[in-house]
């Protein structure tokens, strides 16, 4: 079986690629086990769940990621006499893994946890890396920790129940992984992206495995985000602003953000216009958006408010080649000046 290893200061994590939820039985190693999942995952996949001491189902959607829900989870687990030899399992997408990871990291000052990632986004990004957290006062993940899950199981078969939008939403992060660190992965998506979307088979496993490896490698070099890990934010500065204003899916907004980052890279003579056009084509070919009609003022406002701490500059991730990204501090004032122009389609 294909495995990747995260060797973090906050713990060691094994990522089981192209694995199956049935592996949970072995990885449990006789411990008491509490499963946290959401309504959608429970509806589609509960028959695959192993026996557990309790299965706690939270409403689907980002609104469950808050301190009130965390508190309710603490109380249920305490009432069930959880102890430090218990295993907490999050089965779901990024919302569930963030929530379950945070509960496990903080209750009793840390209980072992593992994840079964059921979305593309979680399998290549959200479930890997140890960051967990909940939202507060409209800020995403402002309360959280970094602590590695004991394991992540990526079950490709569970991706079949995702609708098309959810599926291509996650492929946005696959393209991102190719752009920042794996040119061959970008080219795989360039050649086979539409076929992967149509069949959800074939080279899907290869693409997901390569993208997960990019994440693992970056986390292994910079677990606490003092430098390189920021590269994973390619497309996210602009993307978060778009997501906040329009409520569009995260990966859709990041796709638009990656197109903007590519154009900004061309403008700074870091990337060729041909490469930027290729990036736009790969994104569009799998059905992701490449632009959105929003005013610069609204976008700038949302970008400035994305992080609680204010500064004149933003660490923007740009590309100096397909497969190589660089973090570049850019003054908001410069960004504002160029944004109108960048949002116009190429002539």
Shortest distance, position 57 Cβ to ligand GLY, whole Å: 21
Shortest distance, position 44 Cβ to ligand GLY, whole Å: 23
Shortest distance, position 250 Cβ to ligand GLY, whole Å: 13
Shortest distance, position 214 Cβ to ligand GLY, whole Å: 12
Cα(324)–Cα(8) distance, rounded to whole angstroms? 24
Q: Which of residues 34-63 bind ligand GLY (CB under 6 A)?
A: none
Q: Which of residues 91-130 bind ligand GLY (CB under 6 A)?
A: 126, 129-130
Selection from 64, 73, 142 nearest residue 111 by Cα: 73
131 vs 230, beta carbon nearer ligand GLY: 131
Using Cβ positions, the residue closest to ligand GLY within the complex turns out to be 129
Contact between 212 and 248 under an 8 Å Cβ cutoff? The reply is no
- Strand ranges, E, within 20-127: 33-38, 54-58, 87-92, 112-117
126 vs 260, beta carbon nearer ligand GLY: 126
* 314 near ligand GLY, rule: CB under 6 A: no
Cα(240)–Cα(251) distance, rounded to whole angstroms? 10
Shortest distance, position 133 Cβ to ligand GLY, whole Å: 9
3-state secondary structure of 14: strand
Q: Which of residues 191-210 bind ligand GLY (CB under 6 A)?
A: none
Contact between 295 and 343 under an 8 Å Cβ cutoff? The reply is no
Give 276's contacts (C-beta < 8 A, 6+ positions apart).
259, 262, 263, 265, 266
121 vs 339, beta carbon nearer ligand GLY: 121
Selection from 23, 188, 38, 48 nearest residue 98 by Cα: 38
Selection from 19, 275, 345 nearest residue 152 by Cα: 19
131 vs 343, beta carbon nearer ligand GLY: 131
219 vs 271, beta carbon nearer ligand GLY: 219
Read off φ and ψ for residue 6, nearest 5 degrees. -100, 120
* 131 near ligand GLY, rule: CB under 6 A: yes
Cα(60)–Cα(42) distance, rounded to whole angstroms? 10
181 vs 266, beta carbon nearer ligand GLY: 181
Shortest distance, position 130 Cβ to ligand GLY, whole Å: 5
Shortest distance, position 169 Cβ to ligand GLY, whole Å: 16
Site pattern 249..288 for ligand GLY (x: CB under 6 A): ----------------------------------------
- CA dihedral (197, 199, 204, 208) positive or negative: positive
3-state secondary structure of 10: coil
Shortest distance, position 80 Cβ to ligand GLY, whole Å: 25
Residue matched to tokens 């997960």 = 212
Contact between 91 and 113 under an 8 Å Cβ cutoff? The reply is no
Shortest distance, position 218 Cβ to ligand GLY, whole Å: 9
92 vs 193, beta carbon nearer ligand GLY: 92
152 vs 261, beta carbon nearer ligand GLY: 152
* Count of residues of this chain found to bind ligand GLY when the rule CB under 6 A is applied: 4
96 vs 126, beta carbon nearer ligand GLY: 126
Contacts of residues 24-29 at CB distance under 8 Å and 24 or more positions apart, as own/partner, are 24/50, 24/89, 24/114, 24/116, 24/153, 25/50, 27/114, 27/150, 27/151, 27/153, 28/87
* 213 near ligand GLY, rule: CB under 6 A: no
Contact footprint for ligand GLY (CB under 6 A)? 126, 129-131
């Amino acid at each position: 079986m294909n495995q990747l290893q995260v060797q973090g200061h906050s713990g060691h994590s094994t990522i089981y690629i192209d694995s199956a939820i049935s592996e949970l039985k072995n990885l449990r190693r006789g411990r008491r086990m509490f499963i946290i999942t959401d309504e959608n995952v429970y509806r589609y996949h509960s028959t695959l769940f192993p026996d557990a001491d309790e299965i706690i189902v939270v409403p689907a959607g980002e609104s469950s990621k808050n301190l009130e829900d965390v508190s309710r989870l603490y109380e249920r687990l305490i009432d069930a006499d959880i102890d430090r030899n218990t295993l907490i399992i999050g089965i779901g997408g990024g919302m569930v893994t963030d929530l379950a990871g945070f509960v496990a990291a903080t209750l009793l000052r840390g209980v072992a946890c593992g994840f079964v990632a059921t979305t593309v986004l979680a399998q290549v990004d959200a479930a890997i890396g140890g960051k967990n957290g909940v939202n507060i006062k409209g800020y995403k993940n402002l309360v959280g920790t970094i602590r590695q899950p004991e394991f992540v199981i990526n079950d490709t078969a569970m991706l079949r129940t995702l609708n098309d939008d959810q599926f291509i939403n996650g492929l946005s992060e696959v393209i991102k992984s190719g752009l920042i660190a794996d040119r061959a992965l970008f080219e795989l998506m360039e050649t086979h992206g539409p076929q992967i979307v149509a069949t959800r088979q074939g080279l899907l496993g290869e693409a997901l495995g390569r993208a997960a490896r990019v994440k693992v490698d970056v986390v292994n070099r910079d677990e606490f985000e003092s430098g390189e890990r920021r590269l994973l934010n390619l497309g996210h500065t602009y993307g978060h602003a778009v997501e906040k204003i329009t409520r569009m899916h995260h990966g859709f907004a990041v796709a638009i953000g990656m197109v903007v980052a590519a154009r900004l890279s061309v403008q700074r003579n870091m990337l060729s216009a041909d490469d930027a056009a290729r990036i736009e084509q790969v994104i569009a070919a799998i059905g992701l958006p490449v632009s959105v009609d929003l005013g610069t003022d609204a976008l700038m406002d949302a970008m400035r408010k994305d992080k609680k701490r204010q500064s004149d500059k933003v660490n923007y991730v740009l590309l100096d080649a397909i497969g190589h990204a660089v973090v570049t501090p850019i003054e908001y004032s410069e960004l504002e000046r160029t944004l109108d122009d960048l949002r116009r389609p190429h002539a």
